Structure 1
Amino acid sequence: MSGAVPTAPEQPADEMENQVKAPDPGPDNPPDYESHFVQAVLLPAGYPGGLPTRYYSPQQPSTFPLYQPTGGVHPIQYQPGKYSLPNQSAPITWMPGPALMPNCPPGLEYLAQLDNIHVLQHFEPLERMTGIETNNRYDIKNNLDQMVYIVTEDTDDFTRNSYRTLRPFVLRVTDCVGREIMTMQRPFRCTCCCFCCPSTRQELEVQCPPGVTIGFVAEHWNLCRAVYSIQNEKKENVMGVRGPCSTYGCGSDSVFEVLSLDGVSSVGSIIRKWNGLLSAMGDADHFDIHFPLDMNVKMKAVIFGACFLIDFMYFERSHHNVHQDRSRQ
């Protein structure tokens, strides 16, 4: 018939089923990734420098902490790639970001709410075995074992191994996102002259933010003990630090008292803790720093800096100069 509509020939049921099924994914058919995405970690608007690269960990790209200047309920956790060991899996717990404070240098808000901090130096076994000086590294923690800062020495190899404990150095203090919030600089002072000459006395400058001086730590000559002045940015004496007669006590802590300007009342302390065999043989010192909670935060930072000058002058050891240091003290 001329009006009939032609129809397709009937196909077996098994052939029709094969046409309905989707082909199996193979090497030429990659899986659909539209349902998978990576969330980018964003820092607050206006943050200088963008993403932190100093402690970037390629194994954990999404573990950057968010810097929370307005405070947070939960502690910040991340594992900085620069200091993590290959078998270290536990994340480092950071102190929650404090609220911004008026008349407080950025980054010192942490110190404003603390009256006690712990300075823990990293142990360097390669340095002990070879005698080659390496850059010192320190973890700064509060009483809850939360990380507050990381301190890293930035000194070239020649200077470190030529001048050893007398070397000039730069210490960079960074927070949880790798932002450098404080810099400490020790200039070189020649010790060839008479030890009571002012040009041989050690000094440390504290800057916060980097480039803006907030105070100094100045050594004073004393026949029996370590004596320092805590100074403001104008080099005016504000407080003093008085150490023990002997800083090489075996089996006991070494206490450096922070005194008022008149030298009568104690307002804080810097204590080098005795850690047994690690204190006797390894450069892995542990300091406790105490100061009043309501102390000016800039002076807290300068006392914090005095701890590192004391460490380099009295407790840093190397195979080449341990006897020289003992005779000098």
Structure 2
Amino acid sequence: FLNTGAPGLAVPPPAGYPGGLPVGYYSPQQPYAFPSYQLPGGIHPIQYQPGKYHMPNQPVPITWMPGPALMPNCPPGLEYLTQLDNIHVLQHFEPLEMMTSFETNNRYDIKNNLDQMVYIVTEDTDDFRNAYRTLRPFVLRVTDFMGREIMTMQRPFRCTCCCLCCPSSRQELEVQCPPGVTIGFVAEHWNLCRAVYSLQSEKRENVMRVRGPCSTYGCGSDSVFEVKSLDGMSNIGSIIRKWNGLLSAMGDADHFEIHFPLDLDVKMKAMIFGACFLIDFMYFERSPPQNSSR
């Protein structure tokens, strides 16, 4: 007979974070109960070993980066970035987009080098998703391990029918942290042969530049977007779109690596983080197979 065992004990959240874990997630320290089955007429039970069999109706455990302590002069939720000099942006593969012409909202896992989850990013775009495809305006919501929305990124709709050098046709991303409080903008600059962006403060003052390769459609190699000082003399960091073989060529499952100095201002780290998503939508987001092309 099935014996479900004792339920796992709840694990309190790290210091500085009230409340509990988001619904559907487990702390890596939380114990699990595994069903046991009695042999006919026997004494010794047979147990499923952890990690060997998938347990029905149980979500796969997610290992989260330990919650850092609250810091002064740091927007709430960005404390994680103060401890990191690089992060990985992993887009979820959406089979529905490959098989149909239906565009689904993008989802991303943000992880550190230890494969620990740092943030979850979800797209919240319902009205324009299938009308404008890759040119759609979007809202990206960044949540932490408690499900709190700690950052919001918004891309307004910009008409591309105008001349490419017209400011009204250039793409832009606004970064808010916490939601409702603008900390900066990612603004596209017109360039004949490569992607160029400026990272701006909340007062729209240029702080850094992002310079992409001449070709972002390279097959079989990474695409590197360099983060530089305004004069272009100093390398500050990079946004690298990793080549993942056929998965990169056929489906929306992009993998980005973001590098920046450990001691860089945390707001500027958030701006580089935001630039990664505008780059993804502009150059690597594929429309579902219709009569469309990138």
With structure 1 as the length reference, what TM-score do the two structures score? 0.75
- Tell me the amino acid that sits aligned with residue 173 of structure 1: V
Larger radius of gyration: 1
Instruction: Give the one of 191, 205, 215 matched to 2:174.
Output: 205
Instruction: Give the one of 98, 116, 129 matched to 1:146.
Output: 116
Q: Which has the higher relative contact order, 1 or 2, with Cα contacts under 8 A spaced 6 or more apart?
A: 2
1:94 aligned counterpart, secondary structure: coil
C-alpha separation in 1, matches of 2:232 and 2:29: 40
Instruction: Give the one of 19, 23, 35 matched to 1:56.
Output: 23
1:155 and 2:125 aligned: yes
8 Å contact 2:16–2:70 — kept in the other structure?
no
The root-mean-square deviation of aligned C-alpha atoms, in Å, is 2.7
Residue 281 of structure 1 is matched in structure 2 by 250
Distance 1:37 1:148, change over 3 A: closer
Distance 1:38 1:313, change over 3 A: closer
Distance 1:219 1:320, change over 3 A: farther
- Tell me the amino acid that sits aligned with residue 23 of structure 2: Y
Percent pairwise identity: 82
1:229 aligned counterpart, secondary structure: strand
- Tell me the amino acid that sits aligned with residue 169 of structure 1: F
With structure 2 as the length reference, what TM-score do the two structures score? 0.84
Instruction: Give the one of 178, 195, 217 matched to 2:164.
Output: 195
Instruction: Give the one of 278, 297, 321 matched to 2:266.
Output: 297
- Tell me the amino acid that sits aligned with residue 311 of structure 1: D
C-alpha separation in 2, matches of 1:247 and 1:274: 11
C-alpha separation in 2, matches of 1:193 and 1:182: 31
8 Å contact 1:169–1:186 — kept in the other structure?
yes
Residue 317 of structure 1 is matched in structure 2 by 286
The structure with the largest helix share of the pair is 1
8 Å contact 2:14–2:67 — kept in the other structure?
no
**Unaligned stretches of 5+ residues in structure 2:** 1-5, 32-54
C-alpha separation in 2, matches of 1:268 and 1:167: 28
Q: What does 1:1-329 correspond to in 2, within 5 Å?
A: 55-57=22-24, 63=26, 65=27, 90-156=60-126, 158-318=127-287, 319-320=289-290, 322-323=292-293, 325=294
C-alpha separation in 2, matches of 1:171 and 1:86: 31
Please list the CA deviations of residues 125-153 of structure 1 after superposition, one character each: whole Å capped at 9, or x if unmatched. 01110021000000000000000000000
Please list the CA deviations of residues 244-281 of structure 1 after superposition, one character each: whole Å capped at 9, or x if unmatched. 00001000000000001111111100000000000000
C-alpha separation in 2, matches of 1:39 and 1:91: 15
C-alpha separation in 1, matches of 2:107 and 2:123: 6
1:93 aligned counterpart, secondary structure: coil
